[in-house]
Amino acid sequence: MKRYLIEPGTKVSLAEHDPNETGDFNGGKKKGQAALKELNGELQILQELLYAENKHKVLVVLQAMDTGGKDGTIRRVFDGVNPQGVKVASFKVPTPEELGHDFLWRVHKVVPGRGEMVIFNRSHYEDVLVVRVHGLVPEPVWKRRYDQINDFERMLAETGTTILKFFLYIDLDEQKERLQARLDDPTKHWKFNVGDLAERKLWNEYIKAYEDVLERTSTEYAPWYVVPANRKWYRDRVISTVLVETLKGLKMEYPKPRDDLSGVVIE
């Protein structure tokens, strides 16, 4: 999966990434879904081990354009994990209380504790994406935030947090299809937001903002992956594979029992 990793200091052009790509996997959707099921099983075991060991912290950041698949990723990739040890944090428009603090205040409150995995459905990166594209703060303000984000994530990493950041990359045509599907299906009308059409017109501005985010904030301690996301099954396979490989790399172990259990007999 290193093909999707943005190496620190790399110049990023999203035009060089293919959102339709399926890598070296030639099995198609059916085999891709079967592979995902196996990965789900591995992830369940590793997440249970993470929770039991109570040592490491894992933060998963999901960013995407509208309809990019953040909710679907959470449903499929994390299917079956222990809800005691996995949390999802979503970031909407800041409340008046949140606006009264620095932009990272609301984020720091929900980062993972020991033994936890936390998934950010959108994140602190909205403050260099939406804020930038819509001019909600002056340019010098949002430009400073790249370094502030890097410092924040470095602090998390140095205190035991493993950080993985995924940009779910779809193209403009795929977004049109997904928006149309929501419009055509009455059961999906609740997901359709007319405001998404206005955001769609700002596609090029968002692409540029994302390129700068990927260039400025992909670090050794908090790397970004650009995930081909037009094909949902492949998107989920990429993310699951990165998660499983990363968790295996933590070399986790189940804690030893507090008492000597060798002579215990249950009658």
Domain-embedded: residue 150? yes
CATH label of the domain that carries residue 26:
3.40.50.300
Domains of the chain: total: 1
Looking at residue 29, its pLDDT comes to 83
Domain-embedded: residue 261? no
Domain-embedded: residue 257? no
Looking at residue 156, its pLDDT comes to 98
Portion of the chain with pLDDT greater than 70, in percent: 100
Going by DSSP bridges, is the β-strand pair 57-64/5-6 parallel, antiparallel, or unpaired? Answer: unpaired
Domain-embedded: residue 260? no
pLDDT higher than threshold 80 for residue 203: yes
26-34 LR contacts (CB < 8 Å, sep 24+)? 29/231, 29/233, 32/231, 32/233, 32/234, 32/237, 33/233
Looking at residue 142, its pLDDT comes to 97
Domain-embedded: residue 254? no
Looking at residue 88, its pLDDT comes to 97
Domain-embedded: residue 10? yes
Domain-embedded: residue 255? no
Looking at residue 264, its pLDDT comes to 85
Average pLDDT over residues 156-160: 98
pLDDT higher than threshold 80 for residue 233: yes
Weakest-pLDDT range from 21-25, 90-94, 148-152: 21-25
pLDDT higher than threshold 90 for residue 225: yes
Integer angstrom CA distances of residue 12 from 70, 209, 216: 22, 11, 10
Looking at the DSSP bridge assignments, the partners of residue 225 are 5, 166
Band the pLDDT of 259: cuts 50, 70, 90.
confident
Provide the token pair at 106: 């609301």
Looking at residue 120, its pLDDT comes to 98
For 20-59, write each residue's pLDDT tens digit. Answer: 999 877 777 888 889 899 999 999 999 999 999 999 999 9
The chain-wide mean pLDDT, for the chain, equals 95
Domain-embedded: residue 107? yes
The residue assigned the tokens 């937001």 is: 193
Residue 95's domain comprises: 2-249
Those residues with Cβ within 8 angstroms of residue 7's Cβ, 6 or more apart along the chain or in another chain = 218
